[in-house]
Amino acid sequence: MYKILGIPLFLLIITFIIKREKPSVHTIVIKDTIIQKENDSIFNRLMDVVTHQRCMNCHPNDNIPKQGEEARQHILNISRGSNDKGFEATKCATCHQKENNSYSGVPGAPHWALAPLSMGWQNLSRRQIMERMLDPKLNGGKDHKALVKHMTEDPLVLWAWNPGVNINGEMREVPPLSEEEFKSVVLAWFENGAVIPPNQ
């Protein structure tokens, strides 16, 4: 009698255990998806700023700074020169001062220069841009901490939220996130391990 009951009882217990296990496995999967979704959204908000013209105009993949919302070639054929600060006669600092000039429409911030070619982002995918940015061989030897500091404190980065007027007296567009939002997504993404989501 016990022997006959034994097998169904055994199966019943197994089924019970499997049923009990299921919800917890399921929760873990959902949690991972939520974390990944959150990371994707943080990454994309960060990149919405990085790929904005205010940043991209100084991070071209050639030697010419770009201007305006449609990335026009810089007036007067200005080029990076040997040190990214322009040629002798056309140094960036000759025209670009420490502050925006609201009369002439020349934008300005301390140490105005073109980002080195290894930090060129134009025409790259979000993943490619971020891979470049994270690579100490290409980013000027910056670790994660230094990148966070650069993106939350450097005057050229912060200039994007105070870009002044162009030569026609029109306000330049600011990035789609506020300065404070950008700083918090930068911190959050790096704290989360700086994971580039797949399919970017």
Residues near ligand HEC, by CB under 6 A:
49-50, 53-55, 57-59, 65, 67-68, 74-76, 78, 80, 84, 86, 90, 92, 94-96, 105-107, 112-116, 119, 132-133, 138-140, 142, 147, 150-151, 156-157, 159-160, 166-167, 172, 175
**Measured distance CA(130)–CA(195) in Å, rounded:** 10
C-alpha distances in Å from residue 91, one per residue of 34, 57, 94? 49, 17, 5
CA gap 198, 181 in Å, rounded = 23
Distance between CA atoms of residues 181 and 177, nearest Å: 6
* Separation between Cα atoms, residue 5 and residue 14, nearest integer Å: 14
Whole-number minimum distance, CB 23 to ligand HEC, in Å?
43
Measured from the CB of residue 85, what is the shortest distance to ligand HEC in angstroms?
6
Q: Smallest distance, Å, CB 154 to ligand HEC?
A: 7
Q: Which is nearer to ligand HEC, 39 or 113 (CB)?
A: 113
> Closer to ligand HEC at the Cβ: 15 or 178?
178
Min dist CB 91 to ligand HEC, Å, is 6
For residues 31 and 118, which CB has a smaller minimum distance to ligand HEC in the complex? 118
Q: Partners of 72 in the beta sheet?
A: 67
In the complex, minimum distance from the CB of residue 96 to ligand HEC, in angstroms, rounded to a whole number = 6
DSSP 123-170: T--HHHHHHHHH-TTTTTS--HHHHHHHHHH-HHHHHTTS--B-TTSP
108 contacts: CB under 8 Å, gap ≥ 6: 96, 97, 98, 99, 100, 101, 164
Nearest distance from C-beta of residue 41 to ligand HEC, angstroms:
18
Closest to ligand HEC by CB, 15 vs 94, is: 94
Q: Which is nearer to ligand HEC, 39 or 57 (CB)?
A: 57
Strands 72-73 and 66-67: antiparallel
Whichever of 25 and 171 has its CB closer to ligand HEC, that residue is 171
